[in-house]
Amino acid sequence: MNMASTVPVALRDGAGDRDAHDRVVVSCHGLKRSIGAQVILDVNRLRLARGRIYLLSGPNGAGKTTLLRVLAGLDRASCAAFQFDGEAIDLAQYPQSVRRRIGFVHHHPLLFSTSLHANIGYGLKAAGVARAEAKRRIADAIEWAGLGGLVDRPSRALSAGEKQRVALARAHALDPVLYLLDEPKANLDERGREMVTSLIGC
Amino acid sequence: MNMASTVPVALRDGAGDRDAHDRVVVSCHGLKRSIGAQVILDVNRLRLARGRIYLLSGPNGAGKTTLLRVLAGLDRASCAAFQFDGEAIDLAQYPQSVRRRIGFVHHHPLLFSTSLHANIGYGLKAAGVARAEAKRRIADAIEWAGLGGLVDRPSRALSAGEKQRVALARAHALDPVLYLLDEPKANLDERGREMVTSLIGC
Amino acid sequence: ARDLRLATTTSTDNSGLLGYLLPRFEAAHGIKVIVISVGTGKALKLGENGDVDVVLVHSRPDEDRFIEQEHGVNRRDVMYNDFVIVGPLVDPAALRGGRDAVKAFGKIMDARSVFVSRGDDSGTHKMELRYWSELGKQPTGNSGYRSAGRGMGEVLLMASELSAYALTDRATFYAMKDKVDLEILVQGDPRLFNPYGVMAVNPAKYPDINFDAAMRFIDWLTSSQGQQAISEFKVDGKQLFFPNAAP
Amino acid sequence: MELIETTRQALRLLFAGDAELWRIVWVSLKISVGALLLMSPVAIAVGYLLATQRFPGRRIIVVVTQALFAFPTVVVGLLLYMLLSRQGPLGSLHLLFTQTAMMIGQMLIAAPILVAFTLSAVQGADARVRETAIVLGAGRWRTALTVLTEVRFGVMAALFNGFGRVISEVGCALMVGGNIAGMTRNMPTAIALETTKGEFAQGVALGIVLMVLALGVNFAMSWAQGAGAQPQ
Amino acid sequence: MELIETTRQALRLLFAGDAELWRIVWVSLKISVGALLLMSPVAIAVGYLLATQRFPGRRIIVVVTQALFAFPTVVVGLLLYMLLSRQGPLGSLHLLFTQTAMMIGQMLIAAPILVAFTLSAVQGADARVRETAIVLGAGRWRTALTVLTEVRFGVMAALFNGFGRVISEVGCALMVGGNIAGMTRNMPTAIALETTKGEFAQGVALGIVLMVLALGVNFAMSWAQGAGAQPQ
Ligand SMILES: Nc1ncnc2c1ncn2[C@@H]1O[C@H](COP(=O)(O)OP(=O)(O)OP(=O)(O)O)[C@@H](O)[C@H]1O
Ligand SMILES: Nc1ncnc2c1ncn2[C@@H]1O[C@H](COP(=O)(O)OP(=O)(O)OP(=O)(O)O)[C@@H](O)[C@H]1O
Ligand SMILES: [Mg+2]
Ligand SMILES: [Mg+2]
C-alpha cells in the first residue's frame, strides 16, 4: 500500500453499544459518476461503519478524490439508495444538517482570508453555536493543532503544512461523525501526522 | 527524517570530469529573508554541488518552501555572494538565462488552462526551441511521465497526482541543471514516485 | 397652490429672461413655476403628453398644429425677438450690411461658404429652411453646408470654430457674444421676425392638469405688467425681447 | 489660464459652502448613493447566482447583460419617461421630474454593471472558497457572503464603476429629472447646462468638483472596506 | 403601440440597408472599435503593471483611476475641445469636429475602465500563474501574455464594458464631433437629436438598434475568444 496516494475516510465511534446495522453511517448502491463518455467513479456497493477507518488506495486518477467529493456532496453522482446515519438522502440536495456531521478537508485546503480564529470558528458560527462555547472550542482546536504561535499571521502567509493543520483544526472544531480527508498527511511533519492519527486513529 | 515534509533539491551531473570547485552550482553566504520583524529564513552558507541530491528536512514552517522560492528567484532575500554555475547573480534581478537552467515545481503545481501539450511545451517555446525539436521533446516528456492517456483532458480536470506529473514533465522537458522540487512525491502513486526517483535519483 | 410646470426653449431660459420674469409672476400669484428648458420639439411633446401645464415656444406652424390637434388651448402671442445672420469677421460671402435674408443665403451658396445649420427641427431650423425654399435651392447643394443637429449655443461655437455662417436668434447670440468670433452681418429683414407663443395644455385631455395656474400665467404674461417686464429685461443695456401680445 | 482659475473658484465655492453649489452636489450624491444602495444587494445577488448556478439560457443572459452596457442612458431615460409620463402606465404616480424618477433611472443604469462585474469576480474566485464554506455547513446565504467577501476587490470595483457611471450620467437624468433648478439639477445636468451656454470653464470646474467628490466617496469606500487593493 | 412599431421600422431599415442609418451605424462602429483597438494594448499593459508591480503611489493611482469613472464624458469632451479648438494648443491640427477627435475622446474615456478592470482581473489571478511562467523561463512579455490569457474572462469583461461605454456615450461625441450629418453623427448623437426633437419613439428605436449591434459585437468577441463564460 502506498501512503502518499492513500486517502483515509474515518468514522468516529458512536457512544453506547448498538448492533451492527446501527453502526452503518453511509451506505449506498451503484455510485457512479461519469463525465461525458468517461466513467471516473463506479462503486458497486459502499458501506462505511462507525468507528472504522477506511484507506482509499489506488493510482493517480483512480477516483479517490472524486469519491470523497461525492460523499461530501461537492460533486454530483448517480446513486441508488444513499443513506446517512439511517436517513435517506438525495445526493443532489445534500441537507445542511448532514453536512455538519461530515468533516471534509481538501487535498490542498483553502483558508479564508480572515483571521486564523475566524477560519476555525467558521463552521461553529454557521451551526449557530453560542459565542462563549464557540470561543472555547476554537481555543481547544488551536491548542490541539499546535497553532498557538500562528494566530496573528495572515492566513495566506502560512506554509503548506501550517495551512493543512488549520484546515484539520477547522474540521475538528465541528466534531463531525465522519471525516473525509484527502491525503491529509501529505503536507505534514511528524507532529502534524500524529495529529491526524489522534483524529482518526491511523 | 520525515519524508512527507522533505523537499529535494537535485543537481544533474555535469558531463566530463572537473575538480571539486567546478562542481559547485549554487553558492552563497548569509541568505536571509525576513518579513517585518520575523526572520523566516536564515542560512549561513549554502553550497550545492553538481550531481548531488539535497533533501531539505524540517518541521512545517521551517522555511523549506521559502528557500526553494528564493533560489528560484520568486521570493526576495538578502544574500552576500550568490553564484550560479560560477556566475555572480543579483537575486533581485534573476537573469532569464539562469532561470532556464532551473526546474522549479510548486508544492501544488498549477497548470495553465491550455492543453497538456501546450503546458509541457511552454518552457521550450519561451526558450525559443525550434518547433520540430520542441515537439519531439514534448512527446518524450509525455512518454516519460506516462501521460499518454491524458492528453485530451482539460487540464483543470486532472487529479492532483496527474497535475503533479504534468508539472514534473514540464520541468523535465527543459532539461535543467538544477531541480528545485517542493514535496514532489506528496501527491504521487508508486509509478509517479519512481518517476521522481528517475529524475533526481532518490 | 400647486406648482406650475413650464416647458420652454433654451433661448428664453439661457438668455436670463425667465430668471427676470418668473419671480415677478410668483410674487404676484403665489405660484411657483418649475422650468423645464428643452428644444421646441421636446417642449411640445411634453405638453402633448400632459407632463407640463404650459408651453412657451417659437415655431408658429408647430404651435398651430398643437392647437389644431387639441393638445393645447388658448394660444397667445407673447413677444418676439429676431433672427440675425452671423458670420466670421472676414465675411467671405460679403454679407455685411445686407438686410435681405434670402439674398444673403444665396450669396452663401454661391460662395460655397461654410454654413452651420441647427439641423434639429427647432424653430430656428424651420425658419432657416423657409429661406432656402424661398430661394428655391436645396441647402445640401452647398458642400459647405453642415447640418449639426445641436442647440443654438453649440451651433454658434461650431460656426466660430469653422469660420462659418449661421442663423441665430439675437438673444442667444448676445449671450454667447464673448465666446465666439462672429458678428452680426445681416439683420432687420421682416422675414427674420421670431415670434414666441404661449399656450396651456388642454384640460379636456388631462383633467388633473394645473390648468388654472397655466391660465393665470398666460394672462399675466400677456397683461400689461408682464408685457412691461419683458420690455424691461435687458442684457448689456440692450433689449432682447419685444412684447407683442394682443391686448 | 481661465480653466485653472475657474476650477480654483469652483473648489473655493465648494469649500466655502456655497448654498447653490452644495444643493446640486447634495442632489447628485443623494440620488446616486441611494440608487446604488438600493440596487446593489439585488444586482450582486443576481451576479452571484449567474456565476454559481447553471441553467439553460445562462450564457445568453450573461452576454445580454454585457451588451446592456451599450444601452445609452438617454434611452433608459426615454423608456422610463414613457412609463412615468402622464399617459404612461405609471403616470398616476406623478413621478416624472422628481428625484425619485432619477433614482429609478440610475438604478436601471447601474444594474447591468453591478451584475456583470459581480459575476466576473465570483467566477474568477477559487472554487474551493465556495466548497469550503459548503462543507463547513454554511447555508446559501452565508456561502454567498463568504464568497463575496473573498472577492471583495472585484465587488468593490463593480461598485466603483457603478457609482462612477450613475453619478456622471446625464442622459437619463435630463430626461426624467428635467434639470429643474433647485429640485432635480445635479452635477452632470448642471455641467450640461453650462456647456450649452458655452461656459466651458465653468463646466470643467464642475466636472473637477465631481471628480473630487467621487475620489472622496471612493476613498471612503475603500477605507471602510479595509485592507485596500494590494497586489498578491 | 407606437414604440414597438417604430422599433420594428428601425430594425427593418437597418436590415433593408437604409443608407442613412447604416452610415450612422458605420461611423459609430468605426470610431468605437478603433478607439478600443488603439487604447486597449496600452491600457491593458498599464493595468497589468499596476497589478503586478509595487511602487510608491500605486494605491493612489488605483483609486484615482477608479474615480475617473465618475468623470462625465462631456467634461472629457470639453477638455479635448479646449485643446483642439482654434485657440487651443493643438488648434493647428484642425481636428475639431472630425471623427479623429471623437476617437481620441473615446480612447480617453475607455482608458480608466480598461485599466481598472484589467488590474482587478490580474490581481484576482492565482499568484502561481505568474510564478509558473517565470520559472519556466518566460520573459516579461510572455509572462504578461500568459497571465492575461488565464484571466481572459476578466479582460473580456473590461473590453465589453469599455466598448459599451464608448459606443453609447454622447457627451464627448457631441462636444468634439458636433453631430454633423453624414460626417460625425453616430448612434448616440443621433439618438440625442431625436430626443431634442421630441421624437422619443425614434430615439428608443435607434437605441434598440444600438443594442442589437452591441449584442452582435459582444457575441462575436466572446465567440472569437472561444470557450465562453462558463462557471467553474
Ligand atoms: N508574510 C508573512 N508573515 C509572517 N510569516 C510568514 C509570512 N510569509 C511566510 N511566513 C512564515 O514563514 C514560515 C516559512 O514558511 P515555508 O512555507 O517556507 O515553510 P515550509 O518549511 O515549506 O513548511 P511546510 O513543510 O509546511 O511546507 C512559515 O511559518 C510561515 O508562516
Ligand atoms: N471533466 C473531466 N473530464 C475528464 N476527466 C476528468 C474530468 N474530471 C475528472 N476527470 C478524471 O477523473 C479521474 C479521477 O480523479 P480524482 O481526482 O478522483 O483521482 P484521485 O484518485 O484523487 O487521484 P490522485 O491520487 O492523483 O489525487 C482523473 O483521472 C481525472 O483526470
Ligand atoms: Mg486525489
Ligand atoms: Mg512547504
- Residue-wise pLDDT for A66-108, tens only, equals 999 999 989 988 888 888 888 888 877 888 888 888 999 998 9
| Nearest ligand, CA B186 | 2
pLDDT in tens, C23-54: 999 999 999 999 999 888 899 999 999 999 99
Mapping DSSP to helix (H, G, I), strand (E, B) and coil, where does residue E181 land?
Answer: coil
- pLDDT confidence of C135, banded at 50, 70, 90? very high
Q: Please state, in angstroms and rounded to a whole number, the distance separating the CA atoms of residues B148 and C50.
A: 75
Contacts of D55 (CB under 8 A, 6+ apart): none
Cell of E148: 492575461
- Stretch C3-7: mean pLDDT: 94
- pLDDT confidence of E218, banded at 50, 70, 90? confident
Contacts of A164 (CB under 8 A, 6+ apart): A105, A109, A184, A186, A187, A188, A192, B60
CA distance E52 to chain B (A): 13
Q: Which chains touch A (3 or more CB pairs under 8 A)?
A: B, D
Collect contacts of C231-235 with beta carbons under 8 A, ≥24 apart: C232/C20, C233/C16, C233/C17, C233/C20, C233/C21, C235/C15, C235/C16, C235/C171, C235/C174, C235/C175
| Nearest ligand, CA B59 | 1
Contacts of A4 in chain B (CB under 8 A): 4, 185-189, 193
Largest Cα–Cα separation, chain E = 64
Q: Over chain A (202 residues), what is each successive 10-residue block's mean pLDDT?
A: 54 53 78 87 86 82 90 87 85 81 92 95 94 95 91 91 92 91 81 76 60
Range of weakest confidence among B89-98, C196-205, D32-41: B89-98
Please provide residue D125's backbone torsions phi and psi, each rounded to the nearest 5 degrees: -70, 155
Cell of B83: 553564484
Residue of E nearest to C144 (CA): E180
Choose which residue among A1, A66, A182 to substitute to test ligand 2 binding: the one with the highest number of ligand atoms within 8 A of its C-beta.
A66
Q: Which residues of B touch A (CB under 8 A)?
A: 2, 4-5, 35, 58-61, 65, 107-108, 150, 157-162, 164-165, 183, 185-193
Q: Do chains C and B touch (3 or more CB pairs under 8 A)?
A: no
Please provide residue C162's backbone torsions phi and psi, each rounded to the nearest 5 degrees: -95, 5
Please provide residue B181's backbone torsions phi and psi, each rounded to the nearest 5 degrees: -115, 120
Give the other-Cβ count within 10 Å of C177's Cβ: 16
Total tally of structural domains belonging to chain E: 1
pLDDT in tens, E83-102: 998 888 898 899 999 999 99
What is the per-residue pLDDT for E1?
58
What is the per-residue pLDDT for E18?
80
Cell of B162: 496527474
Q: Is the pLDDT of residue C106 over 50?
A: yes
pLDDT in tens, E99-158: 999 999 999 999 999 999 899 889 888 999 999 999 999 999 999 999 999 998 889 889
Residues 130-169 of D with CB under 8 A from E: 151, 153-154, 157, 160-161, 163-165, 167-169
Cell of E91: 488648434
What is the per-residue pLDDT for A22?
59
Q: Please state, in angstroms and rounded to a whole number, the distance separating the CA atoms of residues E157 and A54.
A: 46
Nearest CA to ligand 2 atom 4: B153
What is the per-residue pLDDT for E226?
58
**C125, amino acid identity:** H
Give the other-Cβ count within 10 Å of B165's Cβ: 31
The answer to whether the beta carbons of residues E70 and D211 sit under 8 Å apart is yes
Q: Please state, in angstroms and rounded to a whole number, the distance separating the CA atoms of residues E17 and B141.
A: 57
Please provide residue A36's backbone torsions phi and psi, each rounded to the nearest 5 degrees: 60, -130
- pLDDT confidence of B97, banded at 50, 70, 90? confident
What is the per-residue pLDDT for A16?
47
Return the bridge partners of B181, or none.
B105
Q: Please state, in angstroms and rounded to a whole number, the distance separating the CA atoms of residues C74 and C81.
A: 21
Name the DSSP class of A90.
Answer: -
Q: Which chains touch D (3 or more CB pairs under 8 A)?
A: A, C, E
What is the per-residue pLDDT for E176?
94
Count the alpha carbons within 13 Å of A154 in the hemisphere toward its beta carbon.
7
Return the bridge partners of B24, or none.
B49
What is the per-residue pLDDT for A5?
54
The answer to whether the beta carbons of residues E163 and E66 sit under 8 Å apart is no
- E-assigned strands of chain C? 4-9, 33-38, 54-57, 72-87, 115-117, 145-147, 165-169, 183-186, 193-201, 234-235, 238-239, 242-243
Q: Please state, in angstroms and rounded to a whole number, the distance separating the CA atoms of residues B5 and B57.
A: 6
Q: Do chains D and C touch (3 or more CB pairs under 8 A)?
A: yes
What is the per-residue pLDDT for E229?
39
Nearest CA to ligand 2 atom 25: A60
Q: Buried b / exposed e across B36-75, counting CB within 10 Å, b at 16+?
A: eeeebbebeebebbbebebebeebbbbbbbbbbbbbbbbb
B62 lines ligand 1 (CB under 6 A): yes
Q: Measured between CB atoms, does D3 come within 8 Å of chain E?
A: yes
Q: Please state, in angstroms and rounded to a whole number, the distance separating the CA atoms of residues C159 and E180.
A: 12
Nearest atom, ligand 2, residue A59 CA: 25
Nearest to E200 among C45, C147, C150 (CB): C45
H or E, element range at B198: helix B190-200
Contacts of D198 in chain C (CB under 8 A): 153-154, 156-157, 175-176, 179-180
- Stretch E167-176: mean pLDDT: 93
Count the alpha carbons within 13 Å of C196 in the hemisphere toward its beta carbon.
30
Q: Please indicate whether residue B4 or residue C195 has the higher confidence score (pLDDT).
A: C195
Name the DSSP class of B95.
Answer: -
Q: Please state, in angstroms and rounded to a whole number, the distance separating the CA atoms of residues E48 and E122.
A: 6
Q: Please state, in angstroms and rounded to a whole number, the distance separating the CA atoms of residues C246 and C230.
A: 14
H or E, element range at D65: helix D58-67
B157 lines ligand 2 (CB under 6 A): yes
Cell of D69: 452596457
Largest Cα–Cα separation, chain C = 57
Q: Please state, in angstroms and rounded to a whole number, the distance separating the CA atoms of residues B183 and B177.
A: 19
- What CATH number should be reported for the domain holding residue E200? 1.10.3720.10
pLDDT in tens, B120-179: 999 999 999 999 999 999 999 999 988 988 999 999 889 998 999 999 999 999 988 889
Nearest CA to ligand 2 atom 2: B157
- pLDDT confidence of B69, banded at 50, 70, 90? very high
pLDDT < 70 regions, chain D: 1-3, 224-232
Q: Buried b / exposed e across B86-119, counting CB within 10 Å, b at 16+?
A: eeebebeebeeebbbbbbbbbbbbbbbbeebbeb
pLDDT in tens, D116-155: 989 988 988 899 999 999 999 999 999 999 999 999 888 9
Q: Is the pLDDT of residue C147 over 50?
A: yes
The answer to whether the beta carbons of residues C164 and C114 sit under 8 Å apart is yes
Contacts of E195 in chain C (CB under 8 A): 42
The answer to whether the beta carbons of residues A127 and A100 sit under 8 Å apart is yes
**E48, amino acid identity:** Y
**C12, amino acid identity:** T
Cell of A72: 461530501
Residue ranges making up the domain that contains D148: 2-229
Work out the burial of residue C147: count CB atoms within 10 Å of its CB; fewer than 13 is exposed, 13-18 middle, 19 or more buried: buried
Cell of B47: 553550497
Mapping DSSP to helix (H, G, I), strand (E, B) and coil, where does residue D94 land?
Answer: coil
What is the per-residue pLDDT for A45?
85
Return the bridge partners of B7, or none.
B56
| Nearest ligand, CA B163 | 2
B6 lines ligand 1 (CB under 6 A): no
Name the DSSP class of A13.
Answer: P
Contacts of E146 (CB under 8 A, 6+ apart): B112, B122, E129, E130, E133, E138
Which of E59, C195, B164, B40 lies closest to A186, judged by CA? B164
The answer to whether the beta carbons of residues D198 and C153 sit under 8 Å apart is yes
Q: Please state, in angstroms and rounded to a whole number, the distance separating the CA atoms of residues A56 and A202.
A: 13
Count the alpha carbons within 13 Å of D206 in the hemisphere toward its beta carbon.
28
Q: Please indicate whether residue A195 or residue E63 has the higher confidence score (pLDDT).
A: E63
Contacts of D215 in chain E (CB under 8 A): 63-64, 67
| Nearest ligand, CA D230 | 1
Residue that is written with C-alpha cell 485592507 in the block: D227
Contacts of B100 in chain E (CB under 8 A): 137
CA distance B169 to chain A (A): 15
Residue of D nearest to E151 (CA): D124
Contacts of E96 in chain D (CB under 8 A): none
Contact D231 E52 (CB under 8 A): yes
Q: Please state, in angstroms and rounded to a whole number, the distance separating the CA atoms of residues A182 and A71.
A: 12
